[in-house]
């Protein structure tokens, strides 16, 4: 009892704690940036030819994000020196001992002022093929370290941009830079100033079968490229995005180009100008760049006559030096391309996270049968999702539907924003597809297209490889938009692609939490949602990249849903060949589906499966807003009675749903929920305004109250596991509450740009409050990422939020009594019986968790008891897919080598932002348990 009371008391004290946040501590910097623009172009940076290697060690699929580096057990690679005698225990190495070795790199100068070292690391003495015969592709993944040196000869030092292709992390003179450039995007370098002399580069090498393939010997190839920077700003000319011109008009005015700040101080881009400004108008908002930050400069172009295809634009920027404001200009070239109406063309548009993205669009063929006559109805959109590592305007993608051009439909090849579509076409990629489709009507207006319009919610969806996975994802998560689906050489889920068997050990409850997070994309479990969609599967029987097993499996599983797929296995064919997306059987399928425009049949009964994250669109107009618990998937079994228009719904783990207008099915007259006596009469004019929800007494009721969409309840864009942070309406804001956290703010900003091409504003204000009040501002603010050390963390906007810091302890409270967790407003949570876990601050203690903000927004808290803990937590801010971050995590110092096995807590939040019963909370030394009522 005393413990219970103490817990209440402590909670009360915590919520009264004033929040003291450090702010604006951009003190003077070591480097002298003011000299940079005036430096002589004395290029003089060299890289080692000989690199020291230590490895191999085991590494699981996407596990390196968690730490899981065996050498951290020995204080980290940086603390070790080359020694031919030293051995380190390793489950992969011969005789169980990994040793040092040397490897020679190719060092070359790619362009003036730029030097590159390329090294291939391999361990041929390991019996890879035998390991593979036992453990599969997971045995071909491993990690190792490499050490080399970079010399700077200039007496004043040199500002350098480092592009580290194939790496996830590296250290310069012992200072860690996490994120790297795993997919070799070349988008966001690490920019730093190095003094004269020798600098140590420690590279963590990780082999990943999904990124590097499994066909050959498991070599790790990495490139270290150092580019000297003489100017204050650099332009990444390659990153320029503009629409093509058609019929003398720009398809869309949105444009962007990435700008890199080479200074150790803030730079603000204030405007754009150009000598040719009479022919076009450029519009932009001012863009502040954090020291060494890279951001996309977003602007819009309006062209006026006479048409000009090439022009130069000057970026006007200012730096604040001690001598006062200094203005500078930096030019770049814009070159527009003209396309005819019948060609594939590039269209730009705004992604919901306020960046400019593009897609390749091809209008319907200009034939009389396809609509160039009066009264032609809108026609469907064929959407084709590309495979991993490809740009949508690469010929392989751009031309992949050429042979299907005769089909009467719009053709759209979205990018998913990056060659890996950000997150394998999940949250980030799906937002891009939706924005690309919404850009078609804009294009129609902009270029004065007079042919048939597009039915933007009737998609014929196809995709190859990673894009084939995307087709499965859309068919299971957003089925109402799809009239036909053709996954080609696609994989079913990342876990089925490269098994997770080589991960570090952990208590099964911890692995189950991670597995649950990944299961949101386990399409095998959600196939029932595709009922009624005609699906045509195609896969080469000799595919050595995505094994044909994936397609056979999905075909088998679909066979059990009453809605079997058409399945076409191509004997002897591999992963890709020219024409793979337009084989005769695929063309036949596309044409038939485009002609009919609708799904051929609607099932009389169907089942809706909701992933435990609750992140999903509607199925036949049923949209589930909230699940009872995030610890299992939700289900609704629907049976329609055509005679009386009644729909019988049998639910499992559903808390709240609504009906939306669906063109796929006749609306129900009434709903019978869980065999209740009285059906609910359905009024279509109240669709989207009426919710069906479970009352505290576990009975279904209806409500038109919209007040529930508040800070206490998880809803809308907040659904998902930790990757829900990517569903941002507006650019990200990275807010630093502790002065020491600034390099982590820069790192997170860089990784968002590198892996998602996402934009973020770094803010030295420790608050997600201020910008929200400023709703009228042109700067729309999306989700926040808040960095804090120790007690600097401000409290949540939700007073009942279960994770808080309080004078030297991190406190998590988990509701024990499930009856109390069904209160509506959430305010009552203070009264519920809780189990409180307290973790006293210690070296390396870190935490990462989502918190709600108003308007369906989120903040992701990156917290550490000290800088080590903060750095650990920051590794897990979403970058690669398949990592499995749940809604919250508490990390111990041992995560550095144990990976997820070192977690102190992990789990999911329920609909009221409370910790779910299946979550893991460590109760052991250094933690205190309390119960409170």
Ligand X SMILES: *[C@@H]1O[C@H](CO)[C@@H](O)[C@H](O)[C@H]1NC(C)=O
Residues of this chain that interact with ligand X (CB under 6 A) are 43-44, 46-48, 83, 85, 105-106, 118-120, 149, 151, 153, 198, 221, 448, 450, 689, 704
Of residues 223 and 764, the one with the C-beta less far from ligand X = 223
Q: Map residue 312 onto helix, strand or coil.
A: strand
Bond into 846 cis (ω within 30): no
| Least gap, CB of 92 to ligand X (angstroms) | 21
Q: Which positions ≥6 away from 8 have C-beta within 8 Å?
A: 830, 932, 933
Of residues 304 and 508, the one with the C-beta less far from ligand X = 304
| Least gap, CB of 225 to ligand X (angstroms) | 14
| Least gap, CB of 199 to ligand X (angstroms) | 9
| Least gap, CB of 715 to ligand X (angstroms) | 17
What's the token pair of residue 506? 């952990």
How many angstroms separate the Cα of 138 from the Cα of each of 69, 96, 133, 135? 17, 19, 10, 6
Q: CB-hemisphere CA count at 13 Å for 670?
A: 11
187 close to 243: Cβ distance less than 8 angstroms: no
What's the token pair of residue 338? 């003209």
| Least gap, CB of 677 to ligand X (angstroms) | 21
| Least gap, CB of 608 to ligand X (angstroms) | 26
Of residues 106 and 854, the one with the C-beta less far from ligand X = 106
Of residues 119 and 622, the one with the C-beta less far from ligand X = 119
Of residues 221 and 389, the one with the C-beta less far from ligand X = 221
| Least gap, CB of 522 to ligand X (angstroms) | 35
Question: Count of CB atoms within 10 A of residue 275's CB?
Answer: 9
| Least gap, CB of 149 to ligand X (angstroms) | 5
CA dist., res. 901 & res. 903, Å (int): 6
Long-range contacts of 555-560, Cβ-Cβ distance < 8 Å, separation of 24 or more = 557/524, 557/527, 558/527, 558/530
CA dist., res. 546 & res. 491, Å (int): 6
Q: Map residue 821 onto helix, strand or coil.
A: helix
| Least gap, CB of 201 to ligand X (angstroms) | 10
- Torsion angle (degrees, nearest 10) of CA 820, 826, 827, 828: -10
Of residues 281 and 557, the one with the C-beta less far from ligand X = 281
DSSP output for 87-134: -EE-SSSGGGEEEEEEEE-EEEEEETTEEEEEEEE--TTS-HHHHHHH
Of residues 47 and 188, the one with the C-beta less far from ligand X = 47
Structure-token match 């009467």, residue found: 408
Of residues 119 and 850, the one with the C-beta less far from ligand X = 119
510 close to 465: Cβ distance less than 8 angstroms: no
CA dist., res. 357 & res. 417, Å (int): 6
Of residues 109 and 286, the one with the C-beta less far from ligand X = 109
| Least gap, CB of 113 to ligand X (angstroms) | 9
Q: Report strand pairing: 903-907 vs 888-891.
A: antiparallel
What's the token pair of residue 801? 């939020």
CA dist., res. 640 & res. 491, Å (int): 33
Of 659, 781, 695, give the one whose Cα is nearest residue 730: 781
- Torsion angle (degrees, nearest 10) of CA 178, 181, 186, 191: 20
Of residues 560 and 689, the one with the C-beta less far from ligand X = 689
Q: Which positions ≥6 away from 3 have C-beta within 8 Å?
A: 930, 931, 932
| Least gap, CB of 217 to ligand X (angstroms) | 9
| Least gap, CB of 221 to ligand X (angstroms) | 5
Of residues 223 and 838, the one with the C-beta less far from ligand X = 223
Of residues 77 and 563, the one with the C-beta less far from ligand X = 77
């Amino acid at each position: 009892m005393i413990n219970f009371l103490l817990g209440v008391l402590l909670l009360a004290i915590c919520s009264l704690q004033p929040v003291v946040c450090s702010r604006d501590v951009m003190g003077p910097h070591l480097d002298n940036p003011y000299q940079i623009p005036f430096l002589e172009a004395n290029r003089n940076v060299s890289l080692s030819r000989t690199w020291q290697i230590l490895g191999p060690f085991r590494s699981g699929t996407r596990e390196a994000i968690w730490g899981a580096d065996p050498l951290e057990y020995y204080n980290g690679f940086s603390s070790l020196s080359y020694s031919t005698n030293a051995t380190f225990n390793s489950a992969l190495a011969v005789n169980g001992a990994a040793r040092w070795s040397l490897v020679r790199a190719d060092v070359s100068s790619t362009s003036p002022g730029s030097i590159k070292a390329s090294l291939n690391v391999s361990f041929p003495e390991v019996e890879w093929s035998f390991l593979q015969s036992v453990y599969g592709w997971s045995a071909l993944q491993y990690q190792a370290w490499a050490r080399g040196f970079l010399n700077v000869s200039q007496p004043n030092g040199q500002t350098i941009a480092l592009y580290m292709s194939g790496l996830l992390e590296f250290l310069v003179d012992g200072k860690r830079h996490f994120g790297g450039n795993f997919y070799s995007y070349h988008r966001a370098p690490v920019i730093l100033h190095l003094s004269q002399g020798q600098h140590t580069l420690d590279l963590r090498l990780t082999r990943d079968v999904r990124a590097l393939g499994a066909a050959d010997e498991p070599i790790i190839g990495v490139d270290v490229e150092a580019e000297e920077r003489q100017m204050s700003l650099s332009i990444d000319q390659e990153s320029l995005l503009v629409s093509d011109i058609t019929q003398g008009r720009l398809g869309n005015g949105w444009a962007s180009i990435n700008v890199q700040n080479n200074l150790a101080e803030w730079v603000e881009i204030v405007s754009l100008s150009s000598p040719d400004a009479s022919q076009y108008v450029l519009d932009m908002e001012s863009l502040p760049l954090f020291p060494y930050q890279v951001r996309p400069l977003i602007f819009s172009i309006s062209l006026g006559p006479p048409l000009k295809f090439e022009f130069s634009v000057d970026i006007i920027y200012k730096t604040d030096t001690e001598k006062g404001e200094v203005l500078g200009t930096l030019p770049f070239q814009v070159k527009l391309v003209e396309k005819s109406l019948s060609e594939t063309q590039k269209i730009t548009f705004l992604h919901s996270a306020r960046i400019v993205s593009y897609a390749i669009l091809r209008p319907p063929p200009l034939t009389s049968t396809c609509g160039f006559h009066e009264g032609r109805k809108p026609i469907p959109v064929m959407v084709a999702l590309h495979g991993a590592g490809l740009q949508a305007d690469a010929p392989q993608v751009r031309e992949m539907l050429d042979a299907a051009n005769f089909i009467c439909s719009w053709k759209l090849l979205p990018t998913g924003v990056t060659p890996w579509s950000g997150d394998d076409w999940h949250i980030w990629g799906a937002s891009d597809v939706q924005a690309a489709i919404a850009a078609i009507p804009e294009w129609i207006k902009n270029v004065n297209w007079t042919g048939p319009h597009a039915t933007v919610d009737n998609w014929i969806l196809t995709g190859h490889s990673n894009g084939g996975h995307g087709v499965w994802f859309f068919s299971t998560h957003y089925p109402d938009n799809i009239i036909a689906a053709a996954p080609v050489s696609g994989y079913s889920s990342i876990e089925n692609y490269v098994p997770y068997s080589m991960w570090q050990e952990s208590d099964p409850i911890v692995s189950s939490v991670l597995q649950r997070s990944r299961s949101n994309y386990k399409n095998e479990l959600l196939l029932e949602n595709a009922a009624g969609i005609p699906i045509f599967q195609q896969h080469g029987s000799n595919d050595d990249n995505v094994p044909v097993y994936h397609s056979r499996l999905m075909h088998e599983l679909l066979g059990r849903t009453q809605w079997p797929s058409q399945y076409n296995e191509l004997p002897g064919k591999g992963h890709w060949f020219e024409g793979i997306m337009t084989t005769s059987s695929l063309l036949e399928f596309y044409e038939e589906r485009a002609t009919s425009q609708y799904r051929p049949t609607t099932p009389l009964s169907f089942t809706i499966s909701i992933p435990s994250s609750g992140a999903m669109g509607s199925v036949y107009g049923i949209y589930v807003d909230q699940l009872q618990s995030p610890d299992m998937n939700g289900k609704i079994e629907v049976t329609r009675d055509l005679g009386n228009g009644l729909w019988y719904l049998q639910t499992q783990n559903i808390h709240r749903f609504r009906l939306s207008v669906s063109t796929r099915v006749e609306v129900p007259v009434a709903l019978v929920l869980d065999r209740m006596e009285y059906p609910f009469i359905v009024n279509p004019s109240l669709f989207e305004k009426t919710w069906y929800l479970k009352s505290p007494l576990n009975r279904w009721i209806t409500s038109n109250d919209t007040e529930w969409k508040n800070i206490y309840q998880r809803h809308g864009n907040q659904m998902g596991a930790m990757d829900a942070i990517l569903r941002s309406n507006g650019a990200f804001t990275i807010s630093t509450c502790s002065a020491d956290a600034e390099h982590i703010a820069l790192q997170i900003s860089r990784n968002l740009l590198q892996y998602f091409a996402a934009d973020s504003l770094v803010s030295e204000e420790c608050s997600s409050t201020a910008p929200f009040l400023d709703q009228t501002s042109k700067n729309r603010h999306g989700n926040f990422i808040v960095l804090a050390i120790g007690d600097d963390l401000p409290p949540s906007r939700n007073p009942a939020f279960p994770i808080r810091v309080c004078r030297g302890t991190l406190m998590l409270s988990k509701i024990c009594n499930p009856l109390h967790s069904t209160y509506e407003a959430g305010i009552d949570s203070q009264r519920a019986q809780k189990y409180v876990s307290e973790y006293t601050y210690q070296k390396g203690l870190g935490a990462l968790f989502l918190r709600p903000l108003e308007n369906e927004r989120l903040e992701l808290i990156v917290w550490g008891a000290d800088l080590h803990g903060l750095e650990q937590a920051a590794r897990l801010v979403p970058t690669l897919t398949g990592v499995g971050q749940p809604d919250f995590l508490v990390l111990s110092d041992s995560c550095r080598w144990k990976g997820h096995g070192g977690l102190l807590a992990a789990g999911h939040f329920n609909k009221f932002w409370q910790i779910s019963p299946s979550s893991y909370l460590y109760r052991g030394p250094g933690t205190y348990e309390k119960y409170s009522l």
